[in-house]
Amino acid sequence: MSANVTIDRKLFREAMSRLGAAVNIITTEAAEGAVGFTASAVCSVTDDPPTLLVCMNRTSKLNASFKAAGILCVNVLSHEQEALSALFAGGDMPMASRFAQTGWSRLATGAPVLEAAAASFDCKIDQITEVGTHSVLFCAVVAIRLGSASTGLIYHGRAYHKITGADAA
């Protein structure tokens, strides 16, 4: 075994597409106003103290904004929010217009909280580990909002899937 073995990136991405993950919109209140991006690389770390992590591309122009703000909100999407996921996944629409498409509020930190999210985790960025092309943001959860919908939107096999509760295995 060698740690320097080269894994084909295409194969890595194909295999990773089989690791289903929840779809979230990560937001912050930056110097330039409210900003956000769609992410599935979010993971619970521990409930003592309540901590989660978010992986974020270092080449994103939002990377510096999130680090400067020092806060963020993880908004877990419900099964009905695929369009919102696409809206924050990229494109040319100004941030202000994206945020204008739906309702937002605030909790403790001032980061935008999606009112229709299944759950929102309002966080303080506690620690950052840089790994290759990505920043891993370890976040202390300081406030939580449970939405009225407890359903979920999953990205798996390069497609969206709805978890409505009716499809339990």
Minimum distance of its own copies from residue 93's CB (angstroms): 22
Minimum distance of its own copies from residue 138's CB (angstroms): 6
With contact defined as beta carbons under 8 Å apart, do 130 and 78 qualify? no
Residue placing its CB nearer to its own copies in the complex, 2 or 31: 2
- 3-class DSSP state of 108: coil
Q: Is the dihedral of CA 99, 101, 106, 112 positive or negative?
A: negative
Choose among 153, 84, 88: nearest CA to 118. Answer: 153
Residue placing its CB nearer to its own copies in the complex, 62 or 119: 119
Minimum distance of its own copies from residue 66's CB (angstroms): 16
Backbone angles phi, psi at 21, to 5 degrees: -150, 150
Residue placing its CB nearer to its own copies in the complex, 95 or 136: 136
